[in-house]
Amino acid sequence: MGSLPWLRHKKRDIPGDLWVRCSGCKQTIFGKDLDDAFKVCPKCGHHFPISSHLRIAYTLDPATWHEYDAGMGAVDALDFIDEKPYAEKLETSASRTGLREAMRYGLGRVDGHQIVFGVLEFRFMGGSMGVVVGEKVARAVELARDLCIPLVLVSASGGARMHEGILSLMQMAKTCAALATLRESGGFYISLCTHPTTGGVTASWAMTADIILAEPEALIGFAGPRVIEGTIKKKLPAGFQTSEFLLEKGQVDMIVSRQEFRTTLSRLLRYLPEQPQGTLASRGHST
Ligand SMILES: [Zn+2]
């Protein structure tokens, strides 16, 4: 069989991200239009997952990000192996993301307001919380407390990191204990839950903020719907564990689209009374 004429032509080299198919409306979107819209579908409003790098760029004033503890990496204390050794999974995540761990935190500014900003990288083992993620969250909280500046954390997580066993579960208590000291000192904490925020992260620091924001249609919950249905032997209502459902039930304060997050954050930060700010040197913090 002779080859078809169009097959004889050399294929044009089209970059893979020139056109993107939206998983919300199934329509094809021009990649640049998607980039210009903060990775939100211009046709249906579906929020595409984004990296921690983009989250930082979309949120903070340009060139104000100063990351802390970027070199802190996980230790495979249990020599854990499931389908692959844990150490190998860590290496794969590190080469995929260029990061040592799933949590990033540091100092930055939003419309000039200095904050401690932290964000989970979902591409690093599903944003799961092990010892290093918990430690970095606790350090972010303590930095905000000591410098007397607001704390803003963005979550996207599959929950506790089972590869670290009970050591990962204790991060729930540790991060909440740190947040209690922030509260006692009069500190202020805003949490943004993005798709998906689940398991031990939801059950600890993501849902214990002064103000809890969520991106539209994000899945936010502890156990998954199938586990809950199996336990309570009841059918769950439609839209269960979405941002919209949680807003209706009073678990979330506000749903904010990605394009509005920075201006919303700026407005919320303006409401805060001026506090005398500490300095890094006087509080013993260093990068
Ligand atoms: Zn769409």
pLDDT score, position 259:
97
Distance 196 CA to ligand 1 centre (A): 18
Cα→Cα distances 8→13, 15, 194, 196, Å: 15, 21, 47, 45
C-alpha span between 266 and 110 (Å, rounded) = 6
Q: What is the pLDDT of residue 3?
A: 45
| Separation of CA 30 and ligand 1 centre (Å) | 11
CB 14 within 8 A of CB 28: no
At residue 1, the pLDDT reads 40
For residue 219, the CA-to-ligand 1 centroid distance in Å is 17
- How remote is the CA of residue 36 from the centroid of ligand 1, in Å? 14
CA geometry: angle 282, 119, 226, nearest 5 deg:
140
Q: Please report, for residues 170, 193, 256, the alpha-carbon distance to residue 216 in angstroms, rounded to integers and kept in the order given.
A: 30, 10, 7
Q: What is the pLDDT of residue 102?
A: 98
- The answer to whether 196 and 158 are in contact (CB under 8 A) is yes
Q: Which residues pair with 107 in a beta bridge?
A: 66, 116
Distance 158 CA to ligand 1 centre (A): 24
Q: Calculate the alpha carbon distances from 250 to 46, 71, 205 in Å.
A: 23, 38, 17
Residue 224 is predicted with a pLDDT of 84
pLDDT for the residue 183 = 97
CB contact at 8 A, 15 and 30:
no
Looking at 154-271, list the stretches that DSSP marks H as alpha helix, in order from N- to C-terminal side.
165-184, 199-202, 225-232, 243-248, 258-271
Helix (H) or strand (E) run with residue 30 in it: strand 28-30
User: 20 CA distance to ligand 1 centroid (A)?
Assistant: 10
The whole-number pLDDT of residue 17 equals 73
pLDDT tens for each residue of 15-40: 567 999 999 999 999 999 999 999 99
Using the mean position of ligand 1's atoms as its centre, give its distance from the Cα of residue 119 in Å: 25
| CA 107 to ligand 1 center in whole angstroms | 34
Ligand 1 geometric centre to CA of 260 (Å): 18
Ranges of the chain whose pLDDT falls below 70: 1-16, 275-277, 279-287
Residue 258: the pLDDT is: 98
Distance 46 CA to ligand 1 centre (A): 5
The reported pLDDT for the residue numbered 279 is 66
Q: What is the pLDDT of residue 49?
A: 97
pLDDT for the residue 276: 65
- For the chain, domains (ranges, CATH) are 1-48 (no CATH), 50-283 (3.90.226.10)
Q: How far is the CA of 23 from the centre of ligand 1 (A)?
A: 6
pLDDT number for residue 176: 98
